[in-house]
């Protein structure tokens, strides 16, 4: 998608083939910072500290981590260790272990001296594949948006989204926002309610910025406002992304997603989840019992970062110094609350038959 009118991907391979260049998303929307990751350690830091985040982008960045490891030591033991080390840094997004496993499966049959070259090419192919998959999700989601708009002729379509599942969370297009971008490009009159998404505010900082860069009408709302807007008929459908979807259709996504699904269910608002098939974890069934929920630092809850009056990025404390805070980063929405999964193959029901069949 575009930054200041120029096409840009969230991740680009350095032309020299010795690093991958990512946007350091901690600076957005106030600072445009690029980071050059030239080792598996740098990749792990970037994923763990959320310079890059969003399940598909985490996966492709980790694939480059394996490729960078191959430049140093491409032996089996070193690759196994690099995979284990990368996989543990953000445990909930299944795309991470999916991508590193795929890298190892395809690199291992190569002679050790050929692995670095093969791994670099494979990571690049995975990046391109991510773009194609998300474009296909956008096409299938566009049909849903057009159908919803046809049911409300003469009225702007209102979509609500949570967190950031836009192009910054992928290599390009995004998942939940891909249908929005496609719809905007074909002239559909639509508007996006953007949940701010406490505690890290990916909605307020990243989704709002992305949509603004593309000229998509949007409004940032406090996370607690969505239910009220649904009760008053101001949300036509909800589209979110996911970090892991089980074989029976339970959806794990950014904390707060479940509450939106409950409110949507209570108000008859369709609740869609846009996911590449790399986010499906068919080895799991019961999302609540089986998915590991990442617990992040309490500081993300107790403090917030923004621009001060002199234009400096500043962190300020929000609560009494002695008050403990908890920070579960994801929650699980049961399949019964999910209207459908928008995948690259089309819209699937959140049922074992549709996902495992
Ligand atoms: O903690 P984050 O910012 O990595 O969480 C991102 C989300 O929850 C997204 O909705 C999900 O990864 C899907 S991204 C297409």
Any domain includes 325: yes
CA–centroid distance, 144 to ligand 1, in Å, is 22
What's the gap in Å between 109 CA and the centre of ligand 1?
33
pLDDT for res 292: 97
Q: What angle do CA 313, 319, 320 make, to 5 degrees?
A: 125
Question: 329 and 352 share a domain?
Answer: yes
CA atoms within 13 A on the CB side of 163: 28
Q: What is the largest CA-CA distance in the chain?
A: 63
Q: CB within 8 A of 296, min separation 6: which ones?
A: 327, 329
CA of 35 to the centre of ligand 1 (A): 20
Q: Which CA distances in Å does 260 have to 61, 159, 225, 237, 326? A: 29, 12, 10, 11, 20
**Structural domain containing residue 220:** 139-356
For residues 181 and 327, membership in a common domain is answered with yes
State in Å: Cα 293 to ligand 1 middle: 13
Positions marked active-site: 243
Question: Looking at the structure, do residues 164 and 183 belong to the same domain, yes or no?
Answer: yes
- The answer for residues whose C-beta is within 8 angstroms of residue 261's C-beta and 6 or more apart is 238, 251, 271, 333, 337, 338
Q: Do residue 224 and residue 335 come from a single domain?
A: yes
244 neighbors 284 (Cβ within 8 angstroms):
yes
Which ligand 1 atom sits closest to the C-alpha of 53? 4
- Among residues 111, 129, 147, which one ends one of the domains? 129
The closest alpha carbon to 42, from 68, 17, 11, 12, belongs to 68
Q: Which distant-in-sequence residues (6+ apart) come within 8 Å of 212 by Cβ?
A: 218
If asked whether residues 151 and 256 sit together in one domain, one would say yes
Global pTM value: 0.97
Which of these, 245, 234, 233, lies nearest to 272 by C-alpha position? 245
Statement to judge: residues 287 and 325 lie in one domain: yes
| 254 in a structural domain | yes
**Is the distance from CB of 334 to CB of 246 less than 8 angstroms?**
no
Out of 51, 203, 242, give the residue to mutate to test ligand 1, the one with the largest number of ligand atoms within 8 Å of its CB: 242
pLDDT in tens, the chain (357 residues): 999 999 999 999 999 999 999 999 999 999 999 999 999 999 999 999 999 999 999 999 999 999 999 999 999 999 999 999 999 999 999 999 999 999 999 999 999 999 999 999 999 999 999 999 999 999 999 999 999 999 999 999 999 999 999 999 999 999 999 999 999 999 999 999 999 999 999 999 999 999 999 999 999 999 999 999 999 999 999 999 999 999 999 999 999 999 999 999 999 999 999 999 999 999 999 999 999 999 999 999 999 999 999 999 999 999 999 999 999 999 999 999 999 999 999 999 999 999 998
Position 174 in a domain: yes
CA torsion 281-49-274-184 (nearest 10°) is -160
309 and 332 both lie in a single domain: yes
For residues 111 and 147, state if they share a domain: no
Domain boundary among 129, 154, 177: 129
- Which element (helix H / strand E) includes 280? strand 280-281
- As a whole number of angstroms, the distance between CA 182 and CA 166 comes to 12
Query: In whole angstroms, how far apart are CA 176 and each of 16, 56, 72, 180, 262?
Result: 33, 12, 37, 8, 18
**One domain, residues 99 and 144:** no
Instruction: Measure the CA–CA gap between 43 and 135, rounded to whole angstroms.
Output: 26
Taken in order 180, 185, 191, 195, the sign of the CA dihedral is positive
Total domains present in the chain: 2
Q: Which has the closest alpha carbon to 21: 10, 32, 5?
A: 10
- Return the CATH number at 76: 1.20.120.420
Residue 45 lies in a domain: yes
Euclidean distance between CA atoms 248 and 352, whole angstroms: 4
| Alpha-carbon gap, residue 24 to 32, rounded angstroms | 8
Residues 115 and 158 in one domain: no
Residue 357 has a pLDDT of: 82
Rounded distance between C-alpha atoms, residue 303 and residue 73, angstroms = 40
Q: ω before 86 within 30° of 0 (cis)? A: no
Domain presence at residue 134: no
Mutate to test the pocket of ligand 1, among 25, 61, 93 (most ligand atoms within 8 A of CB): 93
The alpha-carbon radius of gyration of the chain (Å, integer) is 20
- Residue 247 sits in a domain whose CATH number is 3.40.50.10470
Residue where one domain finishes, among candidates 109, 129, 149: 129
Residue 293 CB-density burial (10 A; 0-12 exposed, 13-18 middle, 19+ buried): middle
Domain-embedded: residue 295: yes
Ligand 1 atom 15: the closest Cα is on which residue? 165
Instruction: Judge contact between 56 and 278, C-beta under 8 A.
Output: yes
The reply to whether 156 and 234 lie within a common domain is yes
User: Would residue 166 count as lying in a domain?
Assistant: yes
Count of other CB atoms within 10 angstroms of residue 157: 21
Same domain for 121 and 59: yes
- Kindly give, in sequence order, each residue whose CB lies less than 8 Å from that of residue 272, ignoring residues fewer than 6 positions away: 141, 144, 237, 238, 239, 240, 338, 339, 340, 341, 342, 347
């Amino acid at each position: 998608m575009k930054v200041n009118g120029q096409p840009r991907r969230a991740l680009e391979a350095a032309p020299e083939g010795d690093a991958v260049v990512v946007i350091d998303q901690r600076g957005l929307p106030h600072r445009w910072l690029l980071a050059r990751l030239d080792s598996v350690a740098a990749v792990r830091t970037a994923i763990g500290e959320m310079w890059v985040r969003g399940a598909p982008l985490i996966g492709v960045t980790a694939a480059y981590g394996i490729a960078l490891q191959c430049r140093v030591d491409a032996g089996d033991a070193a690759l196994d260790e690099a995979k284990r080390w990368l996989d543990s840094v953000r445990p909930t997004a299944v795309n991470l272990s999916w991508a590193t496993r795929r890298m190892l499966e395809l690199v291992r049959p190569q002679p050790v001296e050929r692995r670095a070259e093969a791994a670099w090419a494979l990571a690049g192919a995975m990046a391109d594949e991510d773009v194609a998959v998300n474009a296909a999700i956008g096409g299938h989601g566009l049909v849903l948006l057009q159908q919803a708009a046809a049911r409300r002729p003469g009225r702007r379509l209102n979509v609500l989204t949570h967190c950031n599942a836009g192009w910054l969370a992928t290599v390009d297009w995004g998942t939940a926002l891909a249908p929005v971008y496609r719809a905007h490009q074909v002239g559909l009159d639509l508007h996006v309610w953007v949940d701010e998404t406490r505690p890290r505010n990916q909605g307020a900082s990243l989704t709002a910025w992305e949509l603004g860069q593309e000229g998509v009408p949007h409004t940032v709302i406090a996370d607690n406002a969505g239910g009220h807007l649904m009760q008053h008929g101001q949300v036509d459908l909800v589209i979110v992304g996911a970090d892991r979807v089980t074989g029976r259709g339970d959806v794990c996504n950014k904390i707060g997603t479940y509450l939106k699904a409950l409110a949507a269910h209570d108000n008859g608002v369709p609740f869609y989840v846009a996911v590449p098939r790399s986010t499906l974890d068919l080895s799991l069934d019961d999302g609540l019992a089986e998915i590991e929920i990442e617990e992040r630092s309490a500081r993300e809850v107790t403090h917030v970062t923004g621009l001060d009056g002199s234009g400096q990025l500043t962190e300020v404390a929000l609560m009494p110094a002695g008050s403990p805070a908890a920070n579960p980063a994801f929650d699980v929405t049961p399949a019964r609350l999910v209207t459908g999964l928008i995948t690259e193959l089309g819209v699937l029901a959140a049922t074992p038959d549709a996902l495992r069949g």
